[in-house]
Amino acid sequence: MLDMKFVRENPDIVKQNLRNKFQEEKLPLVDEVIELDAKSRAAKQEADGLRAGRNTISKQIGTLMAQGKKDEAEELKKQVSANAARLAELEEQENELTEKVTKIMMTLPNIIDPSVPIGKDDSENVEVTKYGDPVVPDFEIPYHTEIMERFDGIDLDAAGRVAGNGFYYLMGDIARLHSAVISYARDFMIDRGFTYCVPPFMIRSNVVTGVMSFAEMDAMMYKIEGEDLYLIGTSEHSMIGKFINTIVEEEELPKTLTSYSPCFRKEKGAHGIEERGVYRIHQFEKQEMIVVCKPEESPMWFDRLWQNTVDLFRSMDIPVRTLECCSGDLADLKVKSFDVEAWSPRQKKYFEVGSCSNLGDAQARRLKIRVNGKDGKYFAHTLNNTVVAPPRMLIAFLENNLNADGSVNIPEVLRPYMGGKEKLIPTK
C-alpha cells in the first residue's frame, strides 16, 4: 500500500505508474482518494478542535459554578451538548471517510522500480541470463507422469477418488526423491545463513490482506468455513505475518528466514495439456525464503535471493534462466520481480519453477512492520523467493536426469538424502 502523503504530493507519478501497469481504469481513483483524504483530514481537524475546546469549557463551567454564576454555566453546558453532537457526527464521518480512503489505497499498485521493463503481460517479460547448457537428448522423453509411472511413483486415479482433480499420491522412489529435494533445499539455505522455520499453515484475514491484493486472495486462497482462517498458498505469507504489528530494532536487521510448508491453491480457470499431472495442482510442498531489511538494502537482497535459486538448480545440473517480469505482469504489491525457469528437454523450452519479488514497504505498511532506527521509526522492506517447489520441480529434475534406458541419475548433492543411490531404476 502506498503512503497517502506520497499520493497527495505526487499524483502524477501515481497516475503514470497506473499507465505503466496498464491499469488506466484506476486513474480516476487517484483524484477521488485525494479528495476523500482532504475531507477526512478536515473532519479530524475540526473534531480535534472540539475535543480541545471541550476540556477548556469544562474547566470554565467548574469555575463559574464555584463563583455561583449558574446561569452562565448552564449556557456553556448547552454549548458542550451541541459540540458533543457535532463531535459524534464528525467521528462517524471521519470513520466512513477513512474506510473509503483505505479501500481505494488497497487497490492502487506499488510504484514499480525504474528498471522494470514496460509491457502488458507475461508475453513481454525479458530474459536476463541463462545458466547451464540446455540439452535435448537423442531419445524421446515421455510426459512427466509417464516417467513417474515407470517407477510406480504416482497414482492420480486414487487421488481423484479421494480428493478430486488437482491432487496426487507420490509413491516409492519418486516420493523419496520429492522429500530429498525439500531436505536438500532446507540445508542449502541454512548453509547460506538463513534461519530455518516451520510456520503456521493457516493465517487470519488481516494477515492475508496485509501480504497480497484482493484479486490474488480471491484467485488463490481457500477459506476455512466459519472461522477467520485461510489455508496458506505459500509460506512467505505466514513468515512475513510473523512480524505483524511489531517494531524491530534496526541493528537486528536483516531478518532472513527459510521455511518449509505445504501450500494450498484454488488454481482457478482452464489449463492446457502441458499443465496436467503435477504441474498445476491444489496442494504441493515448498521451501521458501523471505527477508525483512532496511530499504536501502532491498535491491542487494533481491539479487541474492534469485541467485540462491539459480545456484540450487545448477547444483543439480538443471539448466535455468531468469526472466524479469514486465510492468503488466507484476502483482500490485511488487516493486520488481524475477521468475526462475528450468529447462524442459521434452518441450524444448523453459518453464517457471520459482519467483523472486521485492515488495518495497507495501507489505510492511499494511502489516505495520516498523523499524526503530537512529533517526526514528520507518517501515521495513520485505522480499520473498521460492527456493524450490516440488512436485513441479520434479518435472525438470526427471526430464534433465533421464537416461535412454529409463533410469534417472541422482546428482551427487542429493545422494545423502537418497540413501546413497546414484540412480533410480524403473520397475516397469
Per-residue confidence (pLDDT) for residue 84, from 0 to 100? 77
Decide if 105 contacts 2 (C-beta within 8 A).
yes
Q: Is residue 263 part of a domain?
A: yes
DSSP conformation class of 380: P
Same domain, 183 and 250: yes
Same domain, 207 and 302: yes
Same domain, 137 and 63: no
Q: Is residue 197 part of a domain?
A: yes
Number of domains in the chain: 2
**Cell digits for 251?**
541493528
In which element (H, E) is residue 56 found? helix 27-66
Q: Pick the closest to residue 197 from 232, 229, 249, 245 (CA basis).
A: 232
CATH label of the domain that carries residue 35: 1.10.287.40
Q: Pick the closest to residue 184 from 235, 134, 256, 258 (CA basis).
A: 258
- As beta bridge partners, residue 287 has 260, 388
CATH label of the domain that carries residue 157: 3.30.930.10
Percent composition of the chain: helix, strand, coil (DSSP 3-state, to 5): 50, 20, 30
* Rounded Cα–Cα distance for residues 243 and 209 (Å): 14
Per-residue confidence (pLDDT) for residue 374, from 0 to 100? 92
Q: Is residue 90 part of a domain?
A: yes
Task: Return phi, psi of residue 141, to 5°.
Answer: -100, 120
DSSP conformation class of 212: S
In which element (H, E) is residue 239 found? helix 235-241
pTM of structure: 0.88
Q: Is residue 115 part of a domain?
A: no
By residue count, the chain amounts to 428
Give residue 342's identity as a one-letter amino acid code. Answer: A
User: Which ranges of the chain have pLDDT less than 50?
Assistant: 270
Same domain, 338 and 277: yes
Same domain, 128 and 88: no
pLDDT digits (tens, 9 = 90+) for 51-101: 776 666 766 666 666 667 766 766 666 766 767 777 888 888 899 999 999
Q: Pick the closest to residue 342 from 401, 419, 424 (CA basis).
A: 401
Decide if 129 contacts 322 (C-beta within 8 A).
yes
Domain residue limits at 8: 4-105
> Would you list the DSSP string of 132-173?
S-----SSPPPPHHHHHHHTT-EEHHHHHHHT-TT--EE-HH
pLDDT digits (tens, 9 = 90+) for 205-224: 999 999 987 777 777 889 99
